[in-house]
Structure 1
Amino acid sequence: MDMFVVPTISFRLLYGLLIMGHGRRHILWFGVTAHPTAEWIANQVTEACGWEQAPRYLIRDRDGAYGEVLIRRLRSIGIRDRPTSPRSPWQNGYAERLIGSIRRECLDHVIVFSERHLRHLLLSYMQYYNEVRTHLSLNKDAPAPRPIQSAGYIVCRPILGGLHHQYVRI
């Protein structure tokens, strides 16, 4: 889990919350708000994981927005909280790298208008990242495994308004 900041066209700052699974680097949840509080973050974790499918661990940094409310919620769900050491972004490298990818592949090319617009962009990127984008560490597969298509015509599908494309056989 990690948070990142996105400026809007009116220079307001919006905060994104990213929750991802370590196994296949699957994005589980995006949350967007203008005012992150510990209670809001705790609600986002509950919505992302649920009470029944909770992971065993949650790796996070020591941001001041993660308060006692979040820690109590994690304990009540049964998740062991694992904060990283101070000033050690490499300890949560997957999340840091994913935030960099989101910036380079999506947010650096789009002007964000509002919370709703950012939420739409991030959900579209999440679908692209989980289902289409290849990863070398996954043997050029996506986090959501997909079948190999060996016959048919190749068609180009635009993704994220044409920022990226998916080439599939039909």
Structure 2
Amino acid sequence: MVEHATRRVHVLGVTANPNAGWVAQQARNLILDLGDRIGDFRFLIRDRDSKFTALFDEVFRSAGIRVVLTAPQAPRMNAVMERWVGSVRRELLDRVLIMNERHLRKVLVEYETYFNAHRPHRALKQACPLRALPDPVDADIEVSRRDRLGGLLHEYAQIA
């Protein structure tokens, strides 16, 4: 799930065989994880996959969230989510050989942390969803680099 306004990503789960019951349970888990923040959400935009049943929709309706379906064959209608899927494919899945569900879960959790806390976003003026840009500094600064996922992803921080 991607929060449109902040671009914050929530990886809800991993399974080889997703079905309607599993997807509805992930929705319930998300509602619990969001807690008091659930009041900040008004809409859920979703596609027309058969796994998204009335039970899935009811989980969000009971929390006061209106479910909006995308038009058939209209990926631009949910462009923010499509962009995240493309990013995770290009930046991660095309470069890592995934061994099993446990490995995929571990890699996705690491990427989610990187995406939310360090990756710059154009829509946020190069900030990241969970951290605003620091104020500009005129003094000489040193930059440190931290590698993630064996050097596949890099995080940079200023050292004053």
| TM-score over 0.5 for the pair | yes
Q: Which aligned pairs between 1:62-141 and structure 2 lie closer than 5 A?
A: 62-141=48-127
Across the aligned residues of Structure 1 and Structure 2, the Cα RMSD in angstroms comes to: 1.7
Counterpart CA distance in 1 for 2:107 and 2:23 is: 20
CA positional deviation for 1:169: 2.3
The C-alpha deviation readout for 1:93-117, integer Å capped at 9, x for no partner, is 0000110000000000001111111
Counterpart CA distance in 2 for 1:137 and 1:71 is: 28
In structure 2, do the counterparts of structure 1 residues 158 and 65 end up closer, same or farther at CA, with 3 Å as the change threshold? same
* Cα contact 2:143–2:157 (8 A) shared by 1: yes
The C-alpha deviation readout for 1:135-163, integer Å capped at 9, x for no partner, is 12211111112352746432111022211
Q: 2:145 aligns with which of 153, 156, 160?
A: 156
Q: 1:37 aligns with which of 19, 36, 49?
A: 19
The farther-off stretch of 155-164 and 102-111 is 155-164
TM-score (norm 1): 0.82
The C-alpha deviation readout for 1:112-140, integer Å capped at 9, x for no partner, is 11111111111111111111111122111
Match of 2:156 in 1: 167
Runs of 4+ in 1 over 6 A off after TM superposition: none
SS in 2 for 1:168: strand
CA positional deviation for 1:34: 1.2
Gaps of 5+ in 2: none
* Cα contact 1:30–1:122 (8 A) shared by 2: no
In structure 2, do the counterparts of structure 1 residues 135 and 147 end up closer, same or farther at CA, with 3 Å as the change threshold? closer
SS in 2 for 1:146: coil
Q: Given residue 103 of structure 1, which amino acid in structure 2 is its aligned partner?
A: R
TM-score (norm 2): 0.86
Gaps of 5+ in 1: 1-18
Match of 2:9 in 1: 27
Structure with greater helix share of residues: 2
